[in-house]
Amino acid sequence: MPEGHTIHRLAQDYAAAFLGTHPRATSPQGTFAPAATLLTGAELTRTEAHGKHLFLGFRDTDWIHIHLGLFGKVTFGPAPEPPPTGTVRLRLANDTTYVDLRGPTTCALITPPEKQAIHDRLGPDPLRGDADPDRAHRRITRSRTTIAALLMDQKVIAGVGNVYRAEVLFRHGIDPYRAGKDITPAEWDAIWTDLVDLMHEGVRNNRIDTVRPEHTPEAMGRPPRVDDHGGEVYVYRRAGLPCHVCGGEIRTAGLAARNLFWCPACQRP
């Protein structure tokens, strides 16, 4: 599943291509056709992301709510738009660009109050200027759940996925099995500040890099990581490999339905 930086990047890409224009909206696959008919020719006035949720604003009153889920894909291309292939749920097209959305979990026309209800049930998003990290901290300090599971809970903090949670815990030497209530305010501050920086860099580069300058392939004289997720990381999908910092073996285990990765030596209980 894409992490929050991907969705914020998509919000920027939709805005760059369509903001202030009146795109044609169609649903070649059919499911979104009634809403596309209502929206076609309306001005795209705003785009926004909150965690893994993408919002496209038309006029002042209509929002498309998109959640990619595990299989959703967005592809941009230059005009003229080709005939749609596969199951395109939503195509927007203007005189310069088209964009196809395929296979999302959610693609729905919603009202401003419905949009607000989605914001209300999500935790603060490190990529949003209006985020309140204390809101997440209050939930974490009340919880006996592991910090690794809490970081994946979108009601606690929005946009963090499996890669960022593993990497930020490594970067701060925090055992992923520690209970939320045992995370100190200073540790939470450091985690939040780091997520803000790392995730903004993720939006800029459209990939996740988390290693400090002294641990890049160039600095360490090691080959770059080969992985379809791209990016240089400390622990994510590095089970069995040596830790870039201590040389010990990176471990993996299932937690909160996803694989957790950590270095037991650098992240002691």
CA 190, distance to chain mean position in Å, is 20
Q: Please identify, among the stretches 10-18, 42-50, 96-104, 260-268, the one whose residues bind Zn ion according to the rule CB under 5 A.
A: 260-268
Contact between 263 and Zn ion per CB under 5 A: yes
Contact between 243 and Zn ion per CB under 5 A: yes
In this structure, the strands spanning 251-255 and 73-78 are unpaired
Is 2 designated active site?
yes
Closest distance to Zn ion from the beta carbon of 217 (Å) = 17
Around 159, how many Cα atoms within 13 Å sit in the side-chain half-sphere? 28
* Structural tokens at position 54: 């993408």
Of 207, 249, 258, 264, which one is the catalytic site residue? 258
Amino acid at position 206, single letter = N
Is 80 designated active site?
no
Contact between 174 and Zn ion per CB under 5 A: no
Contact predicate 96/79, CB 8 Å: yes
Kindly identify the residues of this chain, within the stretch 52-111, that bind Zn ion according to CB under 5 A: none
Is 81 designated active site?
no
Nearer to Zn ion, 50 or 244 (CB): 244
- Say which residue the tokens 């999500």 belong to: 122
Q: Please identify, among the stretches 27-35, 138-146, 181-189, 246-254, the one whose residues bind Zn ion according to the rule CB under 5 A.
A: 246-254
Question: Nearest-5° angle of CA 108, CA 154, CA 227?
Answer: 95
Contact between 265 and Zn ion per CB under 5 A: yes
Backbone φ/ψ region at 251: left (φ over 0), alpha (ψ -120 to 50), beta: beta
Contact between 266 and Zn ion per CB under 5 A: yes
Q: Please identify, among the stretches 130-138, 141-149, 217-225, 243-251, the one whose residues bind Zn ion according to the rule CB under 5 A.
A: 243-251
Is 3 designated active site?
yes
Contact between 220 and Zn ion per CB under 5 A: no
- As a whole number of angstroms, the distance between CA 43 and CA 114 comes to 20
Question: Phi, psi (5° rounding) for residue 108?
Answer: -140, 145
Of 28, 48, 52, 128, which one is the catalytic site residue? 52
Give the catalytic positions in this structure: 2-3, 52, 258
